[in-house]
A and B are shown apart, each in its own frame.
Chain A
């Protein structure tokens, strides 16, 4: 099992550019989520999904879109990048029966200039 994979590991964008952060898991987990981590702010939930075709907003959804067309993939789209979106982004997944035990990907470090 590869677990949770994220690409790219590092990315630099200019203000106004768009991009998609990829997340995939091979554990057949129903629950997937995206977090951003900024110094002193912990992990803040952006969007989450309880299964294919179902997504919902977290604590800080503005400026981000998600879709969940398959169980395995949960991409995060930045519509028009802003410097405030400079952060480390983590994707996580878990079984719906044990959502408290999330498996995290290695993270994507994004810088917006």
Chain B
């Protein structure tokens, strides 16, 4: 089967850097992706890692270590609009399964 673990909540200060971790178990790993969801909205795609290493997209970066079944999302120069829930998702075989999400609280 497939399962993902991520912290339920993280708090950081505006302008700072925060890292959201994700560990996974899956058969037939094809990649780890990250989504952002604001309250009342739909999830939106942020980034994807199929190979080990760091992928950077503006203020957001995502890292993957396949040998450790581990990845993280790094958010830099935090802004109040980054207050949202963040989900990691893994594709194994045909299914795409999501973690339970990490609620990011940003303090001014």
Contact = CB atoms under 8 A, between A and B. Distances in A.
Nearest to B42: A104
B92 to A, nearest CB: 11
Secondary structure type dominating chain B contacts: strand
A105 B42 contact: yes
A45 B45 contact: no
Give the bracket for the number of chain A residues in contact with chain B: 20 to 34
Contacts of A107: 42
B71 interface: no
Interface of A: 33, 35, 40-45, 48, 50, 56, 58-59, 90, 92, 98-107
Given A90-B43, A104-B42, 4 more contacts: A45-B98, A99-B91, A100-B31, A100-B91
Interface of B: 8, 30-31, 33, 35, 41-45, 48, 50, 87, 89, 91, 94-101
